[in-house]
Amino acid sequence: MLIECLKLEGVETIFGYPGGVVLNIYDALYSSDIHHILVRHEQAAVHAADGFARASGKVGVALVTSGPGATNTVTGLATAYMDSIPMVVFSGQVPTGLIGNDAFQEADIVGITRPCTKHNFLVKNAAELPGIIKKAFFLARSGRPGPVLVDLPKDVVVSKAPFKYPEKITMVGYNPTYEGHLGQIKKALKAILAAERPVIYAGGGVILSKAADKLTKFAKALDIPVTMTLMGLGCFPGSHKLSLGMLGMHGTYRANLAVTESDVLIAIGSRFDDRVTGKVDEFAPGAKIIHIDIDPTSISKNVKVDIPIVGDVSAVLDQFLGLMGDVDGKERKKHLAPWHKQVKVWEGEHKMDYGQGKDEIKPQYVVEQLREITGGDCIIATEVGQNQMWAAQYFTLDKPHCWLTSGGLGTMGYGFPAAIGAQAAFPDRVVIDIAGDGSIQMNSQELATVVQYGLPVKIAILNNRFLGMVRQWQELFYGKRYSHTVMDHAPDFVKLAEAYGALGLRAEKPSDVKKVIKQALAHPGPVVMDFWVAREEGVYPMVPAGASISNMLLA
């Protein structure tokens, strides 16, 4: 029944790790045409399902056993929950008669994951299994997406019942609003057309609702500059002249100043995260704020909104575009010319630069070369920390679903298994994990997975022998007291790759960088690239904690 439900939901690939109470499921998988990828840790199974979902736009699926197998999924579930990623995780559970008895490998995973799932289910009898699975997938992908957990007791899994899969599901109290209120949309459009300094602030919701093309059309028609959150990168072409790049703590100088000086801020599929806003009282202080989001609880949660529009980003942008037929493009350019001129001034005042010399590799240079050599035609996953921010700043993204990063939770160890999920979804595409030497060690055991399944993931380690982002804070605010951030005893990553059967490459000077990247991309299998970069290089611009986003450290 479980396998048949998955097939009816269009599931072709799942990620998992077997154990005692899910052996019946694994036995059914043995003769199934569903492709199962055996990871080496349950956390990696959930991150891989997450990466699969972000890259493909489908629901990711993971399967684990009870007890520690289930508890090992919590970090992955919390990561997906914070970033609104559609996923269904199946966990094994001890027989219903033993629940609450502290049985072997028992854990209350429903209780544990309640705060970090969109919803979860404990299946109590086999007859209700098909309906629960239908609900799980419906919840995961509808409204504001998110992870759903289905807990499967052993006795339920081994029992039988008549199979009937529901054609559709309705859930009392759950009815997401997709169409925006027309009156609010007209009010917002009037404010946008009257604005002299408008800015679009786009987030991950644009990508989740598959509305990138509509956002691009909207911004171009109205000639409005676009800044993106970390999660929104790729929802608008980063190389377009209207792109301001990323905003926030490590955002571009022009993006942060443009938002601060804006008179109308159009927030689309974003949630005013603290890494974006900085000091809330000084965030876009003179702007009328329009907020489009499918989740009504996100509106005015962190920043007071003047014109709220509850609805799916794609549907609401369709409504806007339908009302914009008589907008004069030439008149818009004339009207906003002084604003674009000012943005150009800010861009000239501080360009993203790092000064690559001949002696040591700058990490930004590695990222730029990855972008140049691939032409941007690849999927980028990141770990968390400096590597993540350098990737966001220097790997210009022009398309959605090509950027996999842990934005809300900031999960070290996310990138490599997420890259595995993306590579499983797209076996013929180039998938690169930009990593730090700290983060990559969180899930480096998954090298066994990519070798076993022939997944040609490329890992680019920006190896500074530090926990780099924490070290940067210690340098700036703790007098260079590098308390427990030095990582001089990291493994030899080339030998580690070879031990697993992958290719390992190292670059120790700038002249090695291009050669290593080209060799890695030419290799048909998984590759670990170990780039020995400048040890104390920092990520700039940087907004100190508690400061406004206009108050940036630039070097």
* Active-site annotation holds for 42: yes
Contact in structure between 108 and 151 (CB atoms under 8 Å) = no
Single out the catalytic residue among 469, 529, 542, 552. Answer: 469
Single out the catalytic residue among 1, 9, 42, 466. Answer: 42
- Gap between the Cα atoms of 308 and 390, Å rounded: 33
- Gap between the Cα atoms of 440 and 462, Å rounded: 10
Residue 308 phi, psi dihedral angles, 5° rounding? -80, 140
Single out the catalytic residue among 4, 7, 105, 352. Answer: 105
Single out the catalytic residue among 58, 134, 135, 154. Answer: 154
Single out the catalytic residue among 12, 104, 179, 349. Answer: 104
Contact in structure between 252 and 517 (CB atoms under 8 Å) = no
Decide the pairing of beta strands 226-228 and 13-16. unpaired
Alpha helices in 195-226 (DSSP H): 204-208, 212-222
* Active-site annotation holds for 105: yes
DSSP for 33-84, please give it: SSEEEE-SSHHHHHHHHHHHHHHHSS-EEEEE-STHHHHTTHHHHHHHHHHT
Of the candidates 226, 398, 241, the residue with the CA atom closest to the CA atom of residue 317: 226
Contact in structure between 530 and 444 (CB atoms under 8 Å) = no
* Active-site annotation holds for 186: no
Q: Break the chain down into helix, strand, coil percent, rounded to 5.
A: 40, 15, 40
Of the candidates 187, 114, 169, the residue with the CA atom closest to the CA atom of residue 146: 114
DSSP state of 553: B
Contact in structure between 380 and 434 (CB atoms under 8 Å) = yes
- Gap between the Cα atoms of 463 and 22, Å rounded: 39
* Active-site annotation holds for 106: no
* Active-site annotation holds for 362: no
Residues classed as catalytic: 42, 104-105, 154, 469
